[in-house]
A and B are shown apart, each in its own frame.
Chain A
């Protein structure tokens, strides 16, 4: 039988702690959302000083990356060339959401919001890297 890999709460804590460390290192206050491959929330951390909007946006970036199996930066680039993609349902095309891919399978995503979009993505990448 084919087994489905899943992120555990321990995995999420590892990712979240590494992302938070990356943000703290740069004195950034962000929200870190981790979702499963169905786009459902697994773990969320909103650092002191980040806003309610950051929580909503981090979640939506993460959801986009999880459900479409591609980074939100990729969506951002494609929307720049094809504006009609803005009408894609449930897509937040703003850099800062990265899918978590293990052996070619997407197991979830990380969404960050709070600083500049490329910095958000930097934090997300640092988090995923901690998964090993």
Chain B
């Protein structure tokens, strides 16, 4: 028997085995249909410049205190840029990333950390195919009286550093 014929025979045997030993498939958790909408937070009035700048100033102060150099962006409830600040010595690549994080948080009504966790821990690789997603923490919503008024995004350090600064900015203006 030639090698090719032997390989072919093994293949056929494998197929037959596969067919006979077919297991019932595990249910796909993504097939579940929840009753409620996820992240159903209404879009509200756009954040005022005054509050957007207060958030940025708080974020920059926190970053300065720790000796970090970050870019901080604020978008309104329409996910459009309202205010931006680049700290002295912050890297250029993070200008766009800071805005992207803020924009993605507003557009998808959740922290950008949700995408990072979904892909890393949840194995939800399809998230990367969704429009304008950024799968990196450091983008947080600003919610006023249950409505989205904007979002803040930070970039320039590690994701964890970005997130700490971002939270400081959001906490400074969030009405609880």
Contact = CB atoms under 8 A, between A and B. Distances in A.
A9 B86 contact: yes
Nearest to B83: A45
Contacts of B78: 52
Contacts of A5: none
A107 to B, nearest CB: 13
Contact of B49 (A38, A42, A43, A46): A46
A44 B49 contact: no
Interface string A35-72: 00010111111111000100100000000000000000
Interface string B94-106: 0100000000000
Contacts, number: 42
Contacts of A27: none
The B interface, classified by DSSP as helix, strand, loop or mixed, is mixed
Contact of A42 (B48, B53, B86): B86
Given A38-B92, A48-B48, A52-B78, A43 B60 contact: no
Contacts of A55: 80-82
B85 A12 contact: yes
Nearest to A6: B88
B85 to A, nearest CB: 6
Interface of A: 6, 8-9, 12, 38, 40-48, 52, 55
Interface of B: 48-50, 53, 60, 78, 80-88, 92, 95
